[in-house]
Amino acid sequence: MVNETVQALTIAGTDSGGGAGVMADIKTMQERHVFSAAVVVAVTAQNTIGVQDFMAMPKKMIDEQFASIADDLKIRACKTGMLADVPTVEAVVKNLKKYDLGPLTVDPVMIAKGGARLLSEDAISTVREKLLPLADILTPNLPEAEELAGMKINDHDQMIQAAKKLQSMGVKNVLIKGGHQVESKESSDFILLENGNSFWVSSPRVDTKRTHGTGDTLSSCITAELAKGSDVETAIRTGKKYVQATIANGIQVGHGHGPLNHWAKIDKEGDD
Ligand SMILES: Nc1ncnc2c1ncn2[C@@H]1O[C@H](COP(=O)(O)OP(=O)(O)OP(=O)(O)O)[C@@H](O)[C@H]1O
Ligand SMILES: Cc1ncc(COP(=O)(O)O)c(N)n1
């Protein structure tokens, strides 16, 4: 019998400009040789300059997309991205509990690079209380980690403290992204694993504003690697190498925060 193709799922919003959200997730998974399905929970009118408008999907359509996928596909790992508002978060949580979709990576997208809010303020506590306990890996950027952990993060020590706090909220593995520490020469992410081990992954900071969709690309690469059967640490190390390659080998699209080069290649998986 022919081996089943590895399948993963993104649960997120679309980006009409092609750089972030579902579009970045599908491109990333495709490049990592994983078949990508998608539950679209919101549609944005967006380009590299900003988010002009967005609309959350009717909840019935969210339920139907999950059911269609679960009836037919075999999803090995999944991730969430933009979740818009309280009813959307609740619909996603309900479906994640209903179906076996493999390990869950939660990218708690709150505010786009251009400043637009992609998760309503009142939904932050819903994410904290209802979604985080389902997460195998949580990948907040610094402002998102501050919001979820309820503390300021100004240095590496505080990144470590925040990761511990987030783990105590029920998340198994926490990855706090350092992309927003723009004054630093390195872009360093801190990882606290379920077994209590921790490590940093660092790469030289690329001086570019073409960083639209970095978080989506990292979390969807991790999801693709988990779907293939990688352990969490290897999946994260591969994700970091891949996102670095997509930033460092830029492409020219649009006039604002340009998208990443998802065609970029990495020579070796996992370890540096
Ligand atoms: N200029 C840069 N040079 C190198 N690595 C970067 C740069 N900016 C971000 N990164 C890396 O990209 C990944 C995503 O981090 P970031 O903090 O930008 O996430 P994010 O804000 O959620 O992204 P987005 O909202 O654009 O999807 C991390 O591994 C981070 O270290
Ligand atoms: C649909 C969607 N999902 C996620 C992001 C975050 O990406 P960024 O912070 O680079 O704008 C986005 N802009 N749009």
pLDDT digit string (tens) for 96-145?
999 999 999 999 999 998 899 999 999 999 999 999 999 999 999 999 99
pTM assigned to the model: 0.97
Determine the pLDDT at residue 239. 98
Which ranges constitute the DSSP H helices of the chain? Answer: 21-31, 59-72, 86-98, 124-126, 142-149, 156-168, 214-228, 232-248
| All domains in the chain, ordered by first residue | 7-248 (3.40.1190.20)
Q: How confident is the model at residue 272, as a pLDDT?
A: 47
Q: Does any ligand 2 atom lie closer than 6 A to the CB of residue 81?
A: yes
Q: Report how far residue 260's alpha carbon sits from residue 208's, in angstroms, rounded to the nearest whole number.
A: 11
- Cβ of 189 closer than 6 Å to ligand 1, yes or no, is yes
Check: CB of residue 15 under 8 Å from CB of residue 23: yes
- Cα(156) to ligand 2 centroid in Å equals 25
CA distance 152 to 86: 24
- Does residue 112 have its Cβ closer than 6 Å to ligand 2? yes
Give the whole-angstrom CA distance, residue 205 versus residue 216. Answer: 18
Tell me the two tokens of residue 229: 């059967």
Supply the pLDDT for residue 76. Answer: 98
Q: Which stretches of the chain drop beneath a pLDDT of 50?
A: 271-272
pLDDT in tens, 148-161: 999 999 999 999 99
